[in-house]
A and B are shown apart, each in its own frame.
Chain A
Amino acid sequence: MTEFEMKLKAAEKAVGLGKLSRRDFIQFVMATGATLAVAQAMFTRAARAEPKKGGTFKAAVGHGQTTDSLDPATWSNGFTFAWGKSVMGAPLVQISPKNEVVPHVAESFEPSDGAKKWVFKIKKGITFHNGKTLTADDVVATINYHIGPDSKSPAKSVLSELVSVKADGPDTVIFEMKGGNADFPYLLSDYHLAMYPSEGGKIQWDKGIGAGPYVLKSFEPGVKMTAERNPNYFGTTYFDAVELLSIIDVAARTNAYLSGEVHFIDRADLKTIDMLKNAPDTALYNVSGTALYSAPMLVDQAPFDKLEVRQALKWAINRKELVDKILYGYGSPGNDNMLAPSLKYAIQPEPVYSYDPDKAKALLKKAGMENLKVDLSASDAAFPGGVDAALLMADQAKAAGIEINVVREPNDSYWDNVWLKKPWSLCYWGGRPTADSFLSISMAAGAPWNDTHWKNPRFNELLVAARAETDEAKRQAMYAECQQLMHDDGGQTVLLFNNYVGALSNAIGHEEAFNTDFDHDGGYMYERWWMA
């Protein structure tokens, strides 16, 4: 680094911290021969780069219903999920943009007994919004609320391996599992598992009192939520207040953004994305995440019980075209591996399924199943554009002599009556932070959401072994084999990984990298972003 570069770095830092004025900075940069425009652009960039406190962050999301409630066990949409992560709630751990698990309410965690037992130390001096000190008892009560026998929480299946959770003194919690799980801390980053104050072993969620960065001020279900900075927050946050609006209609959401009423919108309309991209002071929030669109086949039902049929269908789909036409290019094609490339231990199994109707034909011939006819149950409830995707697949498969009959299912009861029940349907999967947590709920034998009924003994053996394996190299090899098996033999057709696409105003500053495990910067945007 030359002397000038070092000085420039220092000057930029000073601007970011607000210690160097625009005038001085520009004079300094122009002294080196840069034009005024360049100098000004450099100033703006430098001024945005350093986080600072203040401002009200307003976001509008395409989720939210009048039936939403403050009960953490009912959170399941884009309006409520981030509450537990970076608004009112604070979970034991957080996920970093690099997909690492970092302690949050917890101070540290240690495995023992082959990762069957986990000891969590709780940070001292954390207080809830009502002033009560957070203790190990609150942690135990919170976890028990979700895993108890009469729990309705989706976190119950996430923590299905958990046998007991006990407090050991005021700041130690001991988790015990059925089997070893080296990734257990990741599971505790689940957005349902925000800590709540407890009394007599029961948590109180009614008033939205948590230990998170913001104190709930108002909540109108299906309309709006406002919260103000928690002055006693134990972590770091920047905004003075946050406002979250539910705007289901995508055009209205876009208008709210364009008219400057909000700083961020999620789920931008991909059809008009180019116009939005060119709006003044706008950066596209375009993050390739771990979420995916799939077409699961039930491998215990004809004709999908034949390996050749499954493989033929995998070759008969043009995933690249699906990405281009359904997502307008904002995604990447799948390869029947549920793990997104950004996840730890993810590999790209060979051969990569590209569009090859001849290969599909040959496979069907081998199985004696030429002129295959199959039903595909589709709905836009599975994912936006689901019916279009199914029709496109039907068209692509024709070249392989396969007739796909697209059955349009009602949106309303899609998850009750179609998914997991019809032999071939469409589905979407949100992000999961680890290979184990994703595969355990979606591909393991006996998992309630195993939507292919795939029960490969080798796969399940490897999955359990890898879960408790603490040797990185061995673990990597096990997961690689798991992914290869799922790719070759499984009933899962991973059509594509969809990007999270939204619009973000330049008035908001953020770290270079975003979290990939969920939309909204992994749900941490309220805590991690700042007013530039």
Chain B
Amino acid sequence: MHPVLKTVLQRLGLGLLTLFVVSVVIFASLEMLPGGFAEAILGQGATPETVAAFNHQVGLDRPATVRYLEWIWNILHGDFGYSYAGLGGNIKRSVSELIAPRLYNTFFLAIMTAVVAVPLSLFLGIMAALYRNSWYDRIVNTITLTTIATPEFFIAYLLMFFFAIKHRWFYSLSTVSENTPLLEHMYRAALPALTLTLVIVAHMMRMTRASLINLLASPYMEMAQLKGVPRREAIVKHALPNAWAPIATVIAFNLAYLVVGVVVVEVVYVYPGIGQLMVDSVSSRDMPVVQACALIFAATYILLNLSADIVSIVTNPRLLHPK
């Protein structure tokens, strides 16, 4: 079997197993947390009587194992179930309906950020490797390390202060809805995307730089230099192909972060992404929503890691054509 295909199938199989384990762990953790959905929603207004009525309406008065089995049975049939919120009324809010627009927003922001951040950090990294220890190298390193070391909410506040309050070039709020036109969506999401770019550039840029510099010391690079290949060409043609594997891993890692870990930026800019949804659902113990979010997050990691592996196989002839 072709090695790429084999890896993909193997990983997907393991991925399914991972997803199952994740769902069990998340469910068990939610069960172990004190309080329940009714208490969380009713807050101080929860009396034993109202809590019991609420739990009965939502079906939370049944044993945990029954609820889990029912949930997983539905998942296997492609039904993510209904959010506990609003259950008991005539309109049920299906989890997929709840998640879809937010997932779209999250992917929108992630892609928008990635389109800027990935080429930018590759470019900065390659240049830094090329002009190692120059002023350029030092300045880029200092700036990117500063932005990654600054907490993201603080970067967000700074950007907001300069670009939304001092100079009203951008909106301080990124509230978008399904009806927001594409261009306005991009405009509204500009500051969050910029914030995230500043947060992730350093990691990718330094990895690019480090793996290239690592290779520059190898004998074949010396050979290239000896036979008179210009330095720039040597890096792009000879070093970079060998450096793709670690770079792809770091890029995949950062992209996954863009999907699953940006709740702080979402909160600061009031951007309706999936992170806020998951946090709210955890604090209110809305199990079906939490589970669906967790599965999406886990699947994101699995798929992105898989693509990173595929990149490293494809760019490495030794792995691509095994004897």
Instruction: Report A's interface with B, CB cutoff 8 A.
Output: 65-71, 74, 76-77, 149-154, 156-157, 204-207, 218, 220-224, 245-249, 251-252, 255-256, 258-261, 410, 412-413, 415-417, 419, 427-428, 448-449
B160 and A255 within 8 A (CB): yes
A152 and B280 within 8 A (CB): no
A249 and B268 within 8 A (CB): yes
B88 and A71 within 8 A (CB): yes
Report chain A residues within 8 Å CB of B43.
76-77, 415
B44-77 residues at the A interface, CB under 8 angstroms: 44-51, 53-54, 56-57
B85 and A247 within 8 A (CB): no
A76 and B173 within 8 A (CB): no
Report chain A residues within 8 Å CB of B83.
67
Q: B25-53 toward A: CB 8 Å interface, digit per residue (1/0)? A: 00000000111001111111111111101
Q: B238-272 toward A: CB 8 Å interface, digit per residue (1/0)? A: 00000000000000000000000000000111101
In the bound complex, CA of A278 to CA of B158 (Å): 20
B38 and A247 within 8 A (CB): no
Report chain A residues within 8 Å CB of B177.
218, 220, 223-224
B90 within 8 A of A: yes
22 intermolecular pairs with C-beta atoms under 8 Å apart: A66-B98, A66-B276, A67-B83, A67-B280, A68-B85, A74-B85, A76-B41, A76-B43, A152-B53, A156-B47, A157-B50, A206-B89, A220-B272, A223-B270, A247-B270, A249-B270, A251-B268, A255-B165, A256-B172, A259-B171, A448-B49, A449-B44
Interface-facing stretch out of B16-24, B281-289, B302-310: B281-289
A154 and B160 within 8 A (CB): no
| A415-B44, A417-B34, A417-B35 as given contacts; A156 in contact with B175, CB under 8 Å | no
| A222-B276, A415-B43 as given contacts; A71 in contact with B89, CB under 8 Å | yes
- Among B35, B160, B270, the residue within 8 A (CB) of A245 is B270
Give A208 Cβ to nearest chain B Cβ, in Å.
10
In the bound complex, CA of A252 to CA of B280 (Å): 18
| A76-B41, A249-B267, A412-B35 as given contacts; A151 in contact with B53, CB under 8 Å | yes
Q: Which 9 A-B pairs have the closest CB atoms?
A: A154-B45, A413-B34, A67-B85, A413-B35, A152-B54, A66-B280, A259-B172, A206-B91, A69-B86
| A67-B41, A67-B284 as given contacts; A252 in contact with B269, CB under 8 Å | yes
A448 and B175 within 8 A (CB): no
Give A199 Cβ to nearest chain B Cβ, in Å.
11
Report chain A residues within 8 Å CB of B41.
67, 74, 76
B164 within 8 A of A: yes
Give A247 Cβ to nearest chain B Cβ, in Å.
5
| A71-B88, A259-B165, A416-B34 as given contacts; A154 in contact with B268, CB under 8 Å | no
Interface centre among B51, B165, B172, B267 (most CB of A within 10 A): B172
Interface centre among B43, B175, B286 (most CB of A within 10 A): B175
In the bound complex, CA of A209 to CA of B278 (Å): 29
B44 and A247 within 8 A (CB): no
Report chain A residues within 8 Å CB of B164.
255, 259
- Among B47, B90, B267, B289, the residue within 8 A (CB) of A204 is B90
Report chain A residues within 8 Å CB of B107.
none
Report chain A residues within 8 Å CB of B108.
none
Report chain A residues within 8 Å CB of B286.
67
| A66-B277, A74-B85 as given contacts; A152 in contact with B38, CB under 8 Å | yes
Give B162 Cβ to nearest chain A Cβ, in Å.
11
In the bound complex, CA of A260 to CA of B84 (Å): 36
B231 within 8 A of A: no
Report chain B residues within 8 Å CB of A251.
153, 157, 268
Interface centre among A256, A410, A419, A428 (most CB of B within 10 A): A256
B168 within 8 A of A: yes
Report chain B residues within 8 Å CB of A255.
157, 160-161, 164-165, 172
B171 and A261 within 8 A (CB): yes
In the bound complex, CA of A218 to CA of B178 (Å): 11
Closest to A223 in B: B272
Extra pairs beyond A152-B88, A222-B272, A224-B177 (4, CB < 8 Å): A71-B86, A218-B177, A255-B157, A255-B161
Report chain B residues within 8 Å CB of A74.
41-42, 85
Report chain A residues within 8 Å CB of B34.
410, 412-413, 416-417
Count of B interface residues, CB-CB < 8 Å: 56
Closest to A205 in B: B89
In the bound complex, CA of A487 to CA of B322 (Å): 86
Report chain A residues within 8 Å CB of B38.
152
Report chain B residues within 8 Å CB of A448.
47-49
Give A438 Cβ to nearest chain B Cβ, in Å.
14
| A218-B177, A249-B267, A413-B34 as given contacts; A76 in contact with B42, CB under 8 Å | yes
Report chain A residues within 8 Å CB of B171.
259, 261
Interface centre among A66, A261, A448 (most CB of B within 10 A): A66
A419 and B277 within 8 A (CB): no
In the bound complex, CA of A247 to CA of B173 (Å): 9
Report chain B residues within 8 Å CB of A76.
41-45
Report chain A residues within 8 Å CB of B54.
152
Give A127 Cβ to nearest chain B Cβ, in Å.
22
In the bound complex, CA of A427 to CA of B280 (Å): 23
Give A490 Cβ to nearest chain B Cβ, in Å.
19
Closest to B274 in A: A66
A413 and B39 within 8 A (CB): yes
In the bound complex, CA of A251 to CA of B264 (Å): 12
Closest to A430 in B: B44
- Among A66, A69, A224, A259, the residue within 8 A (CB) of B281 is A66
In the bound complex, CA of A255 to CA of B35 (Å): 34
B69-113 residues at the A interface, CB under 8 angstroms: 83-86, 88-91, 93, 98
A245 and B173 within 8 A (CB): yes
In the bound complex, CA of A152 to CA of B89 (Å): 12
B180-230 residues at the A interface, CB under 8 angstroms: none
Report chain B residues within 8 Å CB of A419.
44
B47 and A157 within 8 A (CB): yes
Interface centre among B38, B53, B283, B286 (most CB of A within 10 A): B53
Give B151 Cβ to nearest chain A Cβ, in Å.
12
Report chain B residues within 8 Å CB of A256.
172-173, 270
Interface centre among A74, A151, A156, A207 (most CB of B within 10 A): A74
B129-168 residues at the A interface, CB under 8 angstroms: 153, 157, 160-161, 164-165, 168
In the bound complex, CA of A428 to CA of B44 (Å): 9
| A248-B267, A249-B267 as given contacts; A222 in contact with B91, CB under 8 Å | no
| A66-B280, A251-B157, A415-B39 as given contacts; A156 in contact with B49, CB under 8 Å | yes
In the bound complex, CA of A258 to CA of B34 (Å): 39
B57 and A152 within 8 A (CB): yes
B175 and A223 within 8 A (CB): yes
B173 and A153 within 8 A (CB): no
In the bound complex, CA of A218 to CA of B179 (Å): 11
Give B8 Cβ to nearest chain A Cβ, in Å.
35
Give A241 Cβ to nearest chain B Cβ, in Å.
15
- Among A65, A152, A205, the residue within 8 A (CB) of B42 is A152
B42 and A206 within 8 A (CB): no
Report chain B residues within 8 Å CB of A261.
171-173
In the bound complex, CA of A220 to CA of B56 (Å): 26
In the bound complex, CA of A419 to CA of B46 (Å): 11
Give A248 Cβ to nearest chain B Cβ, in Å.
6
- Among B33, B88, B93, the residue within 8 A (CB) of A412 is B33
